[in-house]
Amino acid sequence: MTGVHGVAGAFSAAECDRLVELVAAVPCADARLVGQTRNHNLRRADLVWVDDLPGAGWVMDRLIDIARTANRARFDFDVREFAESPQVARYGAEREGHFDWHSDIGDGPLAARRKLTLVVQLARAGSYDGGDLEVMPGAHVVVANREVGAATVFPSFVLHRVTPVTRGARQSLTVWAHGPAFR
Ligand SMILES: O=C(O)CCC(=O)C(=O)O
Ligand SMILES: [Fe+2]
């Protein structure tokens, strides 16, 4: 089954704040920890990998829990592992942070095995304008729940985007579940 699976309150607001604080402590000068895609037209966001954050082990544990439960309830895909670090992205209005329409399945050895994409909203819904996560599971766009802590889960082959942020900043937490390629 496909579609988009929403989980309200997957993380508490306090947990989202705690993660954002851990990310803020990462020295921005360290290019190994912080990926910058500043001049990219497809995506404009700052990235931090959760595996590089000391004290953030609980984040992966929770994400695995949410993804497994969503998979059982909705997708029933052959999910076997979580082979990539979760990623925290910041889309700021100062440069119209965004991510154009794309699918998460790629050619690389890991990206080819992505089965489910899970995104958690880390910013308060009222603190930014734009920055909607839009998912296209069929003929119609589904707009993800903007509430802080809400999780949105969808098959990684499904097209999705983040519309440009026009005020404030949106932060999100993304992880992928992996398994044998679809066939
Ligand atoms: O930030 C988001 O809501 C989506 C991120 C995304 O699509 C990705 O990292 O592939
Ligand atoms: Fe994506």
How far apart are the CA of 15 and the centre of ligand 2, in A?
23
List pLDDT tens digits, range 33-62.
344 444 467 888 989 999 999 999 999 999
Alpha-helix runs per DSSP H in the chain: 13-24, 57-70
Q: Is the ipTM of this complex over 0.95?
A: yes
For the chain, the domains span 5-178
Helices (H) and strands (E) in the chain, counts: 2, 13
Any ligand 1 atom below 6 A from CB of 161 = no
CA torsion angle 16 18 23 25 (round to 10):
160
Q: Which residue has the CA at smallest separation from atom 3 of ligand 1?
A: 133
Q: What is the phi/psi pair of residue 182, to 5°?
A: -60, 140
Q: What six digits make up the tokens of 90? A: 């910041």
pTM for the model stands at 0.93
pLDDT of 107 higher than 90? no
Cα 62 to Cα 123: distance, rounded to the nearest angstrom: 18
Q: Residue 46: CB within 6 Å of ligand 1?
A: no
Q: Which CATH superfamily is domain 5-178 in?
A: q2cbj1_9rhob like domain (2.60.120.620)
Residue 164 pLDDT greater than 80, yes or no: yes
pLDDT band at 27 (very low <50, low <70, confident <90, very high): low
